[in-house]
A and B are shown apart, each in its own frame.
Chain A
Amino acid sequence: MTILTFILAGTLAAATPLLLAALGELIVERAGVLNLGIEGMMALGAAVGFVVTYHTHNPVLGFAVAALAGMALSLVFATLALGFMANQVAAGLAIGVLGLGLSSLIGKPLESQTLDAPGKLSIPLLADLPVIGPLFQQDVVVFLTLALAVAIWAVLNHSKLGLIIRAVGENPTAARALGFRVLRIRLFAVAFGGAMAGMAGAYASTIYTPLWADGMIAGRGWIAVALVVFGTWAAGRTAFGALLFGALSLGGLIAQAAGVALPSQLLASLPYAVTILMLAVISSNRRRMRLNTVASLGQPFAG
Chain B
Amino acid sequence: MAPLLQLSGVSKRYGGVQANSGIDLSVDAGTIHAILGENGAGKSTLMKLIYGVERPDEGQVFWQGGAVALSSPSDARRLGIGMVFQHFSLFETLSVVQNMALIVPGSKTELATRIRDLGAAFGLSVDPQAMVHSLSVGERQRVEIIRCLLLNPKLLILDEPTSVLPPQSVALLFDTLRALRAKGMAILFISHKLEEIRELCDCATILRQGKVTARLDPRQGTAHELATLMIGRPMPPPVHPTPHGLGEERLALSNLTFANEDPFGVSLKDVSLSVRGGEILGIAGISGNGQQELAALISGEIALKSVASAVTLMGQPVGNLGAAARRKRGLAFVPEDRLGRGAVPDMSLADNALLTAHSRGLVQNGFINRKAERAFTADCIARFDVRTAGPQAEAGSLSGGNLQKFIMGREMMLEPSVLLVAQPTWGVDIGAASEIRQRLVAMRNAGAAIVVISEEIDELFEICDRLQVLHKGHLSPSQDVAATSVEQIGTYMIGAAA
A293 to chain B, nearest CB (A): 9
B138 within 8 A of A: no
B237 within 8 A of A: no
A160 within 8 A of B: yes
B contact residues around A177 at 8 Å (CB): 51, 53, 73, 83, 85, 89
Q: Can you list, as one digit per residue, whether each of A146-177 has a CB less than 8 Å from chain B (1) or not (0)?
A: 00000000000000100110110011011111
Q: Which of B259-267, B283-291, B337-345 contacts A (4 or more CB under 8 A)?
A: B259-267
B78-110 residues with Cβ-Cβ distance < 8 A to A are 83, 85, 88-94, 98, 101-103
A290 within 8 A of B: yes
| Cα–Cα, bound, A166→B264 (Å) | 18
| A178–B89 CB distance below 8 A | yes
B contact residues around A55 at 8 Å (CB): none
| Cα–Cα, bound, A222→B73 (Å) | 39
| B261–A286 CB distance below 8 A | yes
Q: Indicate the size class of the contact surface on chain B.
A: 20 to 34
Q: Can you list, as one digit per residue, whether each of B145-181 has a CB less than 8 Å from chain A (1) or not (0)?
A: 0000000000000000000000000000000000000
B contact residues around A173 at 8 Å (CB): 89
Question: Chain B CB within 10 Å — which of A160, A171, A177 has the most?
Answer: A177
- Within 8 Å by CB of B73, from A178, A287, A290, lies A178
B contact residues around A179 at 8 Å (CB): 52, 72-75, 77, 103
Question: Chain A CB within 10 Å — which of B51, B89, B264 has the most?
Answer: B89
Nearest B residue (CB) for A159: B101
Q: Indicate the size class of the contact surface on chain A.
A: 20 to 34
| A167–B94 CB distance below 8 A | yes
Question: Chain B CB within 10 Å — which of A167, A170, A176 has the most?
Answer: A167
B contact residues around A292 at 8 Å (CB): 93
B301 to chain A, nearest CB (A): 18
B contact residues around A160 at 8 Å (CB): 101-102
| Cα–Cα, bound, A167→B93 (Å) | 9
| B90–A174 CB distance below 8 A | yes
A17 to chain B, nearest CB (A): 30
| Cα–Cα, bound, A35→B52 (Å) | 32
Q: Can you list, as one digit per residue, whether each of A269-303 has a CB less than 8 Å from chain B (1) or not (0)?
A: 00000000000000000110011100000000000
Nearest B residue (CB) for A164: B102
| B263–A287 CB distance below 8 A | yes
| B73–A167 CB distance below 8 A | no
Q: Can you list, as one digit per residue, whether each of A178-207 has a CB less than 8 Å from chain B (1) or not (0)?
A: 111000000000000000000000000000
- Within 8 Å by CB of A170, from B51, B92, B101, lies B92
Main secondary structure of the interface of A (DSSP, over half): helix
B contact residues around A166 at 8 Å (CB): 91, 93-94
B24-66 residues with Cβ-Cβ distance < 8 A to A are 51-53
With A178-B89, A179-B72, A179-B103 as known contacts, state yes or no: A291 contacts B263, CB within 8 Å: yes
| B263–A290 CB distance below 8 A | yes
| A163–B262 CB distance below 8 A | no
A contact residues around B72 at 8 Å (CB): 179
A contact residues around B75 at 8 Å (CB): 179
With A179-B74, A286-B262, A290-B262 as known contacts, state yes or no: A170 contacts B93, CB within 8 Å: yes
| Cα–Cα, bound, A175→B99 (Å) | 11
| Cα–Cα, bound, A180→B53 (Å) | 11
Nearest B residue (CB) for A167: B91
A contact residues around B53 at 8 Å (CB): 176-177
A18 to chain B, nearest CB (A): 26
Nearest B residue (CB) for A288: B263
A139 to chain B, nearest CB (A): 37
- Within 8 Å by CB of A174, from B89, B101, B263, lies B89
B134 to chain A, nearest CB (A): 11
| A171–B73 CB distance below 8 A | no
- Within 8 Å by CB of A163, from B90, B92, B94, B133, lies B94
Can you report 19 residue pairs joining A to B where beta carbons are below 8 Å apart? A163-B98, A163-B101, A163-B102, A166-B93, A167-B91, A170-B93, A170-B94, A174-B88, A175-B89, A177-B73, A177-B85, A177-B89, A178-B89, A286-B263, A287-B261, A290-B262, A291-B93, A291-B133, A292-B93
**3 A-B pairs closest in CB distance:** A174-B89, A179-B73, A179-B74
Show the binding face of A for B, using Cβ within 8 Å: 160, 163-164, 166-167, 170-171, 173-180, 286-287, 290-292
Show the binding face of B for A, using Cβ within 8 Å: 51-53, 72-75, 77, 83, 85, 88-94, 98, 101-103, 133, 261-264
20 additional A-B residue pairs with CB within 8 Å, beyond A164-B102, A170-B92, A286-B263: A160-B101, A163-B94, A163-B98, A163-B101, A166-B93, A167-B91, A171-B91, A174-B85, A174-B90, A174-B91, A175-B89, A176-B53, A177-B83, A178-B102, A179-B74, A179-B103, A287-B261, A287-B263, A290-B262, A291-B93
